[in-house]
Structure 1
Amino acid sequence: MKPMRRPRGFTLLETLVALAILAVALTAAYRAIGVAAGQAGDVQDRLLAEWIAQDRLAEHRALDDFPEVGAKEGQVTQGGRLFRYREETTAMNNGLFRRMDVRVYRPGEEAPLAHLTGLMAREAN
């Protein structure tokens, strides 16, 4: 008489442990994908804000503008998103130059996404 062979395969307990490990790994991967997607949106907002700040400085230079000392605020849409900007112009020791700081924000937020500084000059008489 032959001895009975024990069927081969996984036990229920081994299967449940494997499924638990798989569930933990998939949850971690899903969270990592969510974080990466959120950061991609943040990077895109910062890039658009940088472009807005560059555009504001370039516009003043292109118009040969010599802005008055003070602050100016406005809103602009870039990439289908609304942003708020603030331009602060300060006088320099040399009266032929002005310093302009441009900060770009998301609406309702106080931390700037981008900050650029430029110098504006006028011709000497």
Structure 2
Amino acid sequence: MIAPTGPHHERGFTLIEMLVALSVFSLAALALIRLQAYTTRNAAELELRVVAQSVVRNRAVEILTDPRPPSLGASRGEEENGGRKWIWTQSARLTDEGRFIQIDIQAQDQASGAPAALTILRPAGVILDAPEPVPRTAN
């Protein structure tokens, strides 16, 4: 008996169909690999920016809770946060009306340069003293 060779009895894929399927699959796989690399890079950068923002906010809290207003002009310092060294700079100036001090704070990682910035206002000339003790009256 001779096996039928017509188009109704063929099974499987041809070589060309397999090559086309593999090329489509490889293009999709390459796109996913590139997307993963992009996502990983962005996640690392985002993490650095979050730590930089915490450095700037910590500096702002120090300025706002200090009883003495900051000195006018520029200043800078270093701080360690998140296992990295951060350089912060601040610039303090009186606002146009002179009632407030505007402080611009920036922080940057020494290695990668991930930046963060924050501007705060603080009353000028207000020195927060400890409250006066209330005199006790004798009963």
* TM, length-normalised to structure 2: 0.75
Answer yes or no: is 1:104 the counterpart of 2:107. Answer: yes
Counterparts of 1:67-86 in structure 2, within 5 Å, are 67-86=70-89
Distance (whole Å) between structure 1 residues aligned to residue 60 and residue 48 of structure 2: 19
Distance (whole Å) between structure 2 residues aligned to residue 49 and residue 118 of structure 1: 16
Q: Which residue of 2 aligns with 1:4?
A: 4
- After superposition, the C-alpha distances for 1:75-112 in whole angstroms (9 at most, x for unaligned) are 222222232211111123455532110011232677x7
Number of residue equivalences? 123
Answer yes or no: is 1:113 the counterpart of 2:120. Answer: no
* TM, length-normalised to structure 1: 0.82
User: Residues 96 and 123 of structure 1 are in contact (CA less than 8 Å); yes or no, is this contact kept in structure 2?
Assistant: no
Q: Which residue of 2 aligns with 1:60?
A: 63
Distance (whole Å) between structure 2 residues aligned to residue 28 and residue 82 of structure 1: 36
**AA at the equivalent of 1:4:** P
Q: How big is the alpha-carbon RMSD for the aligned residues of Structure 1 and Structure 2?
A: 2.4
Moved more, 87-96 or 58-67: 87-96
Rg comparison, structure with higher value: 2
Shift, 1:123, TM fit: 2.4
**% identity of equivalent residues:** 27
Q: Which of 17, 25, 40 matches 2:20? A: 17
Structure 1 alignment gaps of length 5 or more = none
Answer yes or no: is 1:89 the counterpart of 2:92. Answer: yes
Residues 71, 109 of structure 1: CA spacing in aligned structure 2 closer, same or farther, 3 A cutoff? farther
- After superposition, the C-alpha distances for 1:44-64 in whole angstroms (9 at most, x for unaligned) are 122111111111010122222
